[in-house]
Structure 1
Amino acid sequence: MVKRRATILIVDDERINIQILDNALSDQYNILAAMSGEQAIKVALESRPCLILLDIILPDISGYEVCKALKNNKQTSHIPIIFVTAQSLPEDELKGLELGAIDYFRKPFLVPLIKVRIRNQIELVQKTAALEQLAWIDGLTGIPNRRSFDKRYFEACKYAVRSKRRICLILLDIDFFKQYNDYYGHAQGDVVLQQVARALEQGVTRPLDLVARYGGEEFVILLTDSSEKEGALLAEKVRQKIEDLAIPHIKSNINRTLTISVGVTTSSNDGGSLDSKALLETTDACLYEAKAMGRNTVVSADFRPRTPKSI
């Protein structure tokens, strides 16, 4: 896998300073440049660089004001900023650090030292991003976890109410999975969970839809802008996809192969409020009914909130 090059934004009103830093860093990083404070804010918002090297003296607003603006914006507040300036008074450095900068370089540049310190900061940014990503991913299957689903579901419900659109929930459970683990062992059970996750990802192809591990042997699919019929058809598609894997399951009462039961519920699009908890509960009830009907089946139901409330 090719490692993505980090992007650094250099903000300085002197072209020669930008050129020196570009020559020193461009072999390892993607370099962007801005020569004014307003331009720096615009580029940072558009490009979201991994690191900003920011001069204090700029032709329009000061680097301090740029730093304050970026740190007060949720979209850019996470970007580390290093002040690069000719100002050498301790109070100048203190002010920059108090505004949220992580370091302070003085001109004239000592290029080898700058390269090492920038490398350390980029590595820290990348490690932090990797850890943050892991917090949203299920460690076993590699797909989004319950925390990730909860966040996306909350956002999808707000979108559905605001845009008068439907969302669809598909909740599925591997049939007789406890018996599978007891007979084949938990290590093989983990392999099956991974196989099911891959099959679900392959079956859900729209970019904005989500497949997540809901917990244990349960998985959930979140569809945006989807009708009840579309949701039911996709649920049947993934049910058949799991059955077609033909994974032996001698302790199953259904064809001696691994199967899933599926519940599907779609919200209304009447522009009213949406009870996100009730939508989940209704989907779970559909899944329970699918199991009661003999498993390896899909149960779908229109969703109309019994006691609507704002999310």
Structure 2
Amino acid sequence: MTERQKILVVDDSASNRQLLGELLQADYTVLLAKNGEQALLRTRQQLPDLILLDVVMPEMDGYEVLSQLKADLHTASIGVIFITGLDTPADEERGLLLGASDYITKPFHPAVVKARVAVHMQVARQRRMLETLANIDALTELPNRRQLDAVLAAECSRAGRTGNPLSVALLDVDFFKPYNDFYGHAMGDRVLQSIARVLSGNLKRPCDVAARYGGEEFVLIMPDTPLDGALELAEALCRAIAELHIPHEKSTDYACVTVSIGIASSRAAVQPTADSLLQVADSRLYQAKAAGRNRVLAE
């Protein structure tokens, strides 16, 4: 069954939120936000397919909300329809130039809103299909190196602006070449697929990303996560992979497939970069290998 598309309705008027919610709930999963701050938080947490956004709101207006959405890689491609009482050409031009997909003036006609939403939802479905083809590793179905680089660069930029912690883990399959040589590349591919399922199955937040870095290496990107939180997650992943009990006769340390993980975490006073975090994570990974593998070492 196809998952219902999600639409976020942002309006400081409770009656408008209720009206739009009731209008659209039969066809979509409707999320509600009463101000700009709440809209940004729920967009990042839920990643809706489309946002209906009021312009005139206290504290943070719709233009500022749209600007922040477009500045964040995770939310930049989400379609935004302004629904507002501002009806001058200048108002509409400003919204469209900032990146709005459409502009509906109040009072709106329900049939028009439903029709325009349907059109933009179709566009969202097509866009996500194309993004999937371009950004997904064919073997593991995780984000590929291209997507990893883009997400990590964006998260480094955001961590630098907010001062929030950003943690990165580099994971490598222990003795993978001997495994491939002994069991064959087809079985090696199955190991990578199994590990990818463990990674994706244990990430609970939409903002966390597990990606294939290359070969038998994977990267975890954990925004707003301090070192201790990243260490806890990585250790759980390390155990879960070992508990798959995939036989590995050519491992000199363990009788099954294991992984080693190195972790790096940003500091509030320093602007993180993708290269600096990955270099530190790689160094910790090397130390984990030297210490006996099947373990996690952190900065």
What is the TM-score normalised by the length of structure 1? 0.56
Q: Which residue of 2 aligns with 1:225?
A: 226
Mapped partners of 2:266, 2:21: distance in 1: 54
Cα shift at 1:219 = 1.3
1:231-270 aligned within 5 A? 231=231, 234-250=233-249, 252-254=250-252, 257-267=255-265, 269=267
Q: Contact conserved, 1:239 with 1:259, CA < 8 A, in 2?
A: no
CA separation in 1, counterparts of 2:119 and 2:279?
48
Cα distance, 1:284–1:2 mapped onto 2, change above 3 Å: same
CA contact (8 A) 2:160 2:268 kept: no
TM-score, normalised with respect to structure 2: 0.58
Deviates more, 1:148-157 or 1:44-53: 44-53
Residue 62 of structure 1 is matched in structure 2 by none
**Range with greater deviation from structure 2 (148-157 or 214-223):** 148-157
**Paired position in structure 2 for 1:281:** 279
Contact 2:242/2:257 (<8 A) preserved:
yes
Counterpart residue type for residue 240 of structure 2: K
Higher relative contact order (CA 8 A, sep 6+): 2
Q: Does the 8 Å contact 1:243/1:259 carry over to 2?
A: yes
Distance in 1 separating the partners of 2:39 and 2:204: 32
Task: Give CA deviations for 1:173-218 in whole Å, capped at 9, x if unaligned.
Answer: 34224642663342x3332212112223455557764432222211
Alpha carbons of 1:104 and 1:154: their partners in 2 closer, same or farther (altered >3 Å)? closer
- Does residue 296 of structure 1 match 2:298? no
Give, as a single letter, the amino acid of the residue that structure 1 aligns with 2:228.
S
Distance 1:119 1:185, change over 3 A: same
Mapped partners of 1:244, 1:141: distance in 2: 19
Aligned to 1:194, the other structure's residue is in SS state helix
Alpha-carbon distance in 2 for matches of 1:24, 1:282 = 51
Q: Which residue of 2 aligns with 1:175?
A: 175
2:210 is matched with 211
Alpha-carbon contact 2:53-2:62 (below 8 Å) kept: no
**Equivalent position of 2:184 in the other structure:** 184
Identity of aligned residues (%): 29
Whether contact under 8 Å (1:239, 1:297) holds in the other structure is yes
Q: Is the 8 A contact 1:52 1:81 kept in 2?
A: yes
RMSD of aligned residue pairs (Cα, Å): 5.7
Deviation string 1:117-163 (CA, Å, 9 cap, x unpaired) is: 76454322322134335544434323343344432465257527853
Is there any run of 5+ residues in structure 2 with no aligned partner, and where?
A: 12-18, 55-60, 105-109
How far apart are the structure 2 equivalents of 1:234 and 1:24? 41
